[in-house]
Every structure is written in structure tokens, then in C-alpha cells.
A and B are shown apart, each in its own frame.
Chain A
Amino acid sequence: MSDRPLVSVGGLVVRHESAGLFTRRATKTAVAGVTFDIARGETLALVGESGCGKTTTARALLRLIDAAEGTMVYDGTDLRALRGETLRRQRKHMQIVFQDPFTSLNPRHTVGAIVGEGLLVHGIAKGDAAKARVATLLEEVGLSASDENRYPHELSGGQRQRVAIARALAVDPEFLVLDEAVSALDVTTQAQVLALILRLRDARGLTCLFIAHNLAVVQQVADRVAVMYQGRIVEMAPSRALFDLPAHPYTRAMLDAVPVSDPRDRKERTLLVGDPGVTGVQTGCAFYSRCSHPAKDAACTTQQPPLVSLATGHLAACIKTNINLEPT
């Protein structure tokens, strides 16, 4: 096994163009220079609030939308250079499970057709072999082989998400993107589907990009966590370090905002002001206007804070961070 990461993203920039009917064409930079690697077998979580660019990053990586700048390399293959047939073949290795199982499954197809489609498209199996393989997959995700004749509307949210997982795994990918895959589910269902994802990941040795806004869920899943704010990674660290020693003021504020899980732990806390979508400054740190760091000053607004290393594998983009990350 080589040390080469399975996925390597460098300086990724994604812009959205809005061509309004009555307004001038505007470009919004959704991802503004994102760099990360994912090692083989590793789960990297991308967290942040709505509009921070986490989903856009994943979609650009899967070539579902176009990147404007940057590099994306998958196991030595330049993803941005792929076209047509080569891109189609690459998709077999990289699959995705979307958030909403109500809109991501074709309502007119049976479960069997949905799960089996990838097998036919990629020429992996057909006929009885495909049927047998679909049956195995359905059982693997906790459904039964007889469910193949059912339609999505006959299934509960949790069952649908199991179908979406089976569909993603049908082509035997190495890399799986889970984009808020358990966020829309009820809490008891969420726990079951999350357990299923973890079991399948470990059994198949999957490499995962896990996108979520629920930090408690991320903590159960991720080996490493990247926190995004307005299109940039503001902190990246091994999971343990991020939750125990958050270095960026935004990461700390986000962790502090999570409701307690025991009423006896209630306490007064300082809350962030403003919305995640509000940019206070044009240059410098995008978090400046909401930041409550005692040392924040004009220096924060003059330049984009670089993502610097604080400890092994622990990066943060805050020029005022003076947290001691050495283990005590």
C-alpha cells in the first residue's frame, strides 16, 4: 500500500453563476480555494453551516458540477481532465448518497431497477446475475430480496435511504460521498442507518467524505474533520483534536452552540451574533464580524488568514490563535 492519498484536492474554486431574468448576471464564489487529502480507508468529515460550500465541494469532486480552478486527483488520475467515456468509467469508483431519499430515487422505478441500474450501465452484471446481486445488496443494507419489486413511495424514509446506499454500493466503489445522508431521518432511524453506514464502511474498507452539519453525528463517524466557513476550510484536524482542542473561534462557537444532551448541563453561554451567510469584510477573515476572539483587531481585516499548522495534522486559519495544542 502506498502513502499516496486516494483523493487529493488542491486550491479548489467553484463559482456559481446566477443569470437572473431581471437582474444582472452575478457570480458567487461558493468554494474559494479548498485543499485537502483523504487517505485510503479514511473518513474525512466536511462540516459547516448552510451555504459554507461543503456540498459544492463534494459535487465538484464527483464532477457533478464544474470546478473553476484547482486540482482534483483520484488515485493518480486527474479528475478535471476526464471527459465522456473515461469520466463515465471513473464514476464506478466514486459514488454518492444524497440527503433526501424522497427526491433522490426515481419514483417510477422499482427498488430492483434503481439498485441494479449501475450494474447494467457499467457492464458488471446482467440478467439473473444482476438480479442475484441486487438481492444480496438489499440484504446487506437490511432490506429483504423481495423488496426489489416495491416502489420508493411504498417505503419509509429510512428504508429509502437504505436503497440509496445499496444503489451507491452496487458498483463496488472505493470512495463514497455521504452528503447529509442521515440528516433527514428521525432520530431512532438515524441511529440505525448510521450504524449500517459504519458497518458497511468497515467491512468494505471504504474511503468516505462525510458531509454533515450535526457535529454529534460527525464525531461518531469521522477520522478527521474539516470545518468550512464561507467557502474556505478554517480548521482541519484529527477528530479527537478538533472536538477536544478546537483552535478556530468559529469551530469553538459552533461546538458551544450545540444543545446539551443532559438538562443538568445547562449553562449560560456566549452566542455568536449574525448569520453564517453574512460577510463583514471584503478582505481578510470572513468570520471577523461574528468573531468573539478577545484579541481580534484591524490586522484580521487586512489579509486572508492562512491555514497554518498548529500541531501534527491540526491546521487552523486564524492569526489570533494562540491555543496550546501540545498534549497535557
Chain B
Amino acid sequence: MTPLLDVSNLRVAYGDRSGKRVAVDSASFTVEPGEIVALVGESGSGKTATALAIMGLLANNARVGPGSAIRFEDRDLLTLPERELRDLRGRRISMVFQEPAAALNPVMRVGEQVAEVALVHGERDKKKAREQAIAMLGRVGLPDPAEQYRAYPHELSGGMRQRVMLAIALLLKPSLVIADEPTSALDVTVQAQVLKLLLELQRESGTAVLLITHDLGVVAETCSRALVMKNGQLVEQATVDALFHAPQHEYTRELLAAMPKLKRRA
């Protein structure tokens, strides 16, 4: 089987007046169709830069190194013209960010932001797009979706806003969703709800998920495979079971040892 996403030798550097900083250094990994892969690491390790490189959303001062390749559904994302990339984004590959409050448009009704995805990707009938959006808002668990369609982001709680983000990302059943710390800003009971929802949606649509997180608990709870990143380099790739029970790299062992573990009587 050809992988859904094949990142090889990815190098991303940020340049500023004081010089160049390498954020991602020769990272190679794949994501298979329908699988949930964790990209784990601490702040500054290059997780988000990797995601943004895949999405083609790197800032202007970032450069992708020569020799880097990102193949997705048999297309090289790094050489694809912007117009074609725009067509892929939201339809075949989408992204969920950590802070839904910052990712959503504050002056646009949440339902319209969901419907917009359909409209941008070819739906001509506004009414149909609206119906599709309402159905999706219902699917992600917004109570009274027809009413909540008209809500503005600030009228929703953090958990509800992240559900809206999932509705936007998964509306067109993309084959890959990159979720960048999707539950890190949420309370623990809400985090559990949103992770469960993400898994349900993932199963329904057969979407693969690249889940970026610093929380090993989230990895243990949801992922099948994990990539560990440190200082821009992938230091270990393994199934989640192997990662937790037979970590190979010193840094992985360090992370596991530092992870706060809740001890409960069985």
C-alpha cells in the first residue's frame, strides 16, 4: 500500500536578521490511510513547523530545504501551485488548531464558517451548504444545531468552539486531518469528550489523523503509532505499545519518566 502521506528528508529553517534557525531537520515519516499517528514533542521541537510545512502554511520567513519532499495522495505538496494546494486544503487535507477562539472568525456566524467549506469547494447551492453545515454541527454534538448555526464564536464555550473546528475540518471527509494540540486548551472532562468525538468522526469517514501533542496521556489514549520529535529531529518512531513499553531512545525514556501518572486503586 502506498502511504497517504510521505514526508521525506523535510528541513524547515526560519531566517531573521540574527541568522537562521533550523526548526525541522531531515525528518522522514509516513502516514497510512485511516491511521492515527501522534507527533510528540516539547515546545520548540518542530512539531507545528512540520504540520505547517505539510499544509503549505509556513510563514514568509520560513524556507523548506532542498531535498525535502512531501507526497500526499501522489502529489508533491512542495511543488504544487498555490491554486491546486488551495483546492486540496479543506477538501482532502485539513487542520484543527489548538486555540479555536483564535482560529475561528470572530465576526462570522459559526454555521456560516462550516458552510463556507462546502461553498469554497464547489457547492453552488447556498441552501444545501447550510443544510450540510447544520447536519454536521449536529453530528459534532452542538445542541440545537439549527439555532447554534447563528451563534458567534464568543457565544460558545471552548469545548463547543473546538467541536465547530472539527465540523469545519471534517465536513468534506478529507483523507487526512492534522490536529495541532486540539485538546490542550480544554478542561479534562471536555478534553475527553472532544477526543472521543475525534475518534468517532475518524472512524466514520476513514480519515487519517496526525495528532500533534505534548501530552503522552493523549497519545496512550488515542493513537496507534507515534513519532517523537526533539530539536527538529525525529528521534523515535514506533507503535504506541512499543513506545510505552520498550522505548528505544533516551529522550523517549526521559519523556515517559517525566509524565505525571495518575495512580488509582484498581
Contacts and interface: CB of A to CB of B under 8 A. Distances in A.
A277 B258 CA distance: 31
Interface string A265-299: 11001011101111000000000000000000000
Contact of B189 (A187, A214, A272): A272
B42 interface: yes
B255 A187 contact: yes
A127 interface: no
B241 A263 contact: yes
B218 to A, nearest CB: 5
B260 A214 contact: yes
Contacts of A187: 42, 214-216, 255, 258-260
B192 A261 contact: no
Contact of B190 (A220, A262, A275): A275
Contacts of B216: 187, 261
Contacts of A310: none
A258 B217 contact: yes
B187 A49 contact: yes
Interface stretch (A5-13, A57-65, A163-171, A249-257): A249-257
B235 to A, nearest CB: 14
B189 A260 contact: no
A294 B241 CA distance: 35
A20 to B, nearest CB: 13
B58 interface: no
A255 B254 contact: no
A255 B188 CA distance: 9
Contacts of A214: 260
Contact of A215 (B188, B190, B241, B259): B188
B157 A259 contact: no
A253 B220 contact: no
B174 interface: no
A215 B262 contact: yes
Nearest to B195: A259
B interface, over-half SS: helix
B159 interface: yes
B220 A277 contact: no
B196 interface: yes
A49 B220 contact: no
B214 A186 contact: yes
Given A49-B188, A186-B43, A187-B255, A255 B264 contact: yes
Given A187-B214, A254-B188, A275-B159, A261 B259 contact: yes
A188 B42 CA distance: 8
Contact of B258 (A191, A254, A272, A278): A191
A269 B260 CA distance: 21
B240 interface: yes
A258 B262 CA distance: 8
B152 interface: no
A172 B158 CA distance: 39
A216 B262 contact: yes
Given A213-B188, A260-B217, A188 B159 contact: no
A314 B99 CA distance: 38
Contacts of B190: 49, 275-276
Q: Which 5 A-B pairs have the closest CB atoms?
A: A259-B217, A216-B260, A49-B187, A191-B258, A186-B42
21 contacts: A49-B189, A50-B158, A50-B187, A186-B42, A186-B43, A187-B258, A214-B260, A215-B262, A220-B260, A243-B263, A253-B189, A254-B188, A256-B192, A259-B218, A259-B221, A263-B240, A269-B192, A271-B189, A275-B190, A276-B189, A277-B157
Interface of B: 42-43, 157-160, 187-193, 195-196, 214-221, 240-241, 244-245, 254-255, 257-265
